[in-house]
Amino acid sequence: MITILENHYTFDRKPVNRIILGEKMQVPESNINIFGDTLNMQGEITGSIGFFDYLIADTLIPTTRESDSMSYQKTMRIPFLGIEPEYQRQGYFLKSMRLLEEIAQKQDCSAITIEVIKNPFLFIWGNRHGYKPYWDYKNILKYLGP
């Protein structure tokens, strides 16, 4: 089951939507962690399988795939995400990212960013799925469209 909680909280003064996977549950019940630390999630509700937070905003990103110059573009930003440990490596991440790409395209976003990367898995996954590192290798970016 997938549920979208609109305007769940704010990040950089922008409303953030949360996609929850599975049944709704309170954040303290989550076992998602990053490098041994329990994830300090924003908001109060998460999903029993996991969650993906996103917002649509004009974001400073490389102007084109090959450019060193930067410009503000309408972008889907993913500041926080997580899959519960017992559901990892079962395809939920990839399915959720495909859903987010569809939402971004419907919103006429030029790119998707996954921000504040602390998990090397995301760099490996991103490289295999058309994302490239940017912003001092702290984020990954994928352009949508031609």
How does pLDDT run across 115-131, given as a tens digit for each residue?
A: 866 677 888 888 899 99
* More confident: 19 or 64: 19
CATH of domain 2-143: 3.40.630
Mean pLDDT of the chain: 85
Residue-wise pLDDT for 96-113, tens only, equals: 999 999 999 999 999 999
Nearest one of 121, 114, 120, 119 to 135, comparing CA atoms: 114
Half-sphere exposure of 145 (CA within 13 A, CB side): 11
Band the pLDDT of 36: cuts 50, 70, 90. Answer: very low
